[in-house]
Amino acid sequence: MSTIEQMPVDTEPGGGDKIPLIELKHVGKQYGNIIALQDINLRVKAGEVTGVLGDNGAGKSTLIKIMAGLHQQSEGELLVDGEALTFGSPKEALSKGIATVYQDLAVVSLMPVWRNFFLGQELRKGPLKTLDANGMRATTMSELSKMGIELPDVDAPIGSLSGGQRQCVAIARAIFFGARVLILDEPTAALGVKQSGMVLRYISAAKEQGFGVVFITHNPHHAYMVGDHFVLLNRGRQKLDCTYDEISLEELTQQMAGGDELEALTHELRR
């Protein structure tokens, strides 16, 4: 089990020419006759946030499912640390340090925060292997505060936390259990401004600590606040692939909105 301190960190500004943690080369995916993805090229580097944007049905979830080991690509290559491989299961992806936090967080609402943090991977002690509740409480508290989250009470049921806090607990948990790459599927979609801010701060902290983050979102403002690199999907194709320096928020928003389509719609509605 690796914690933040033990993790080999690769934080050269901009990621340099270092081997990406994950690389997709000409990746495509078909579901029967449906082409969900076509010729996708992507690099996820340590200490960088890759923003993946796209409208409904653009292929965002399909893309993360391939990286998370839930689905396999129909074409192209998936490289992890420069090595081409195929994941047979999410467990294999996890063993390479690739953790996915899905939008519908699998938490047990009535259980305390610390129980959820260790769910399925409980600490035990003594010859009878009884649950080490105090150890788990203390670790949960220290792991959360390491990333700047101060919860008044880790004994509170996780269901009593705000949406933003729950997202942060899920991310802290992934990090504690050895993630190097965090794939976050629309972590801010259901959140208001303040709650989103909490999650965005957290994403930024994870990046500063050298994690590779894949941040899926509909929201160009959120992507632009923390992203180093942006990929825009449109009906399974990569419409944009650029760095922060290469694009303004206005351009990103315009591209995301479909550019000409949005202008035409504005024209139509304002007539």
59 binds, among Mg ion, ligand ATP, none (CB under 5 to 8 A by kind): ligand ATP
3-state SS track over the chain: CCCCCCCCCCCCHHHCCCCCCEEEEEEEEEECCEEEEEEEEEEECCCCEEEEEECCCCCHHHHHHHHCCCCCCCEEEEEECCEECCCCCHHHHHHCCEEEECCCCCCCCCCEHHHHHCCCCCCEECCCCEECHHHHHHHHHHHHHHCCCCCCCCCCEHHHCCHHHHHHHHHHHHHHCCCCEEEEECCCCCCCHHHHHHHHHHHHHHHHCCCEEEEEECCHHHHHHHCCEEEEEECCEEEEEEEHHHCCHHHHHHHHCCCHHHHHHHHHHHC
**Segment near ligand ATP (CB under 6 A), from 54-62, 94-102, 133-141, 150-158?**
54-62
- Which of 31, 41, 109, 148: binder of ligand ATP (CB under 6 A)? 31
- Which of 40, 44, 48, 60: binder of ligand ATP (CB under 6 A)? 60
Least distance to ligand ATP, CB of residue 115, Å:
30
Pick out residues in 132-171 that bind ligand ATP (CB under 6 A). none
Asked if 33 touches ligand ATP (CB under 6 A), the answer is no
57/135 with CB nearer ligand ATP: 57
**Segment near ligand ATP (CB under 6 A), from 55-63, 122-130, 153-161, 248-256?**
55-63
Asked if 61 touches Mg ion (CB under 5 A), the answer is yes
The residues binding ligand ATP (CB under 6 A) are 31, 34, 36, 54, 56-62
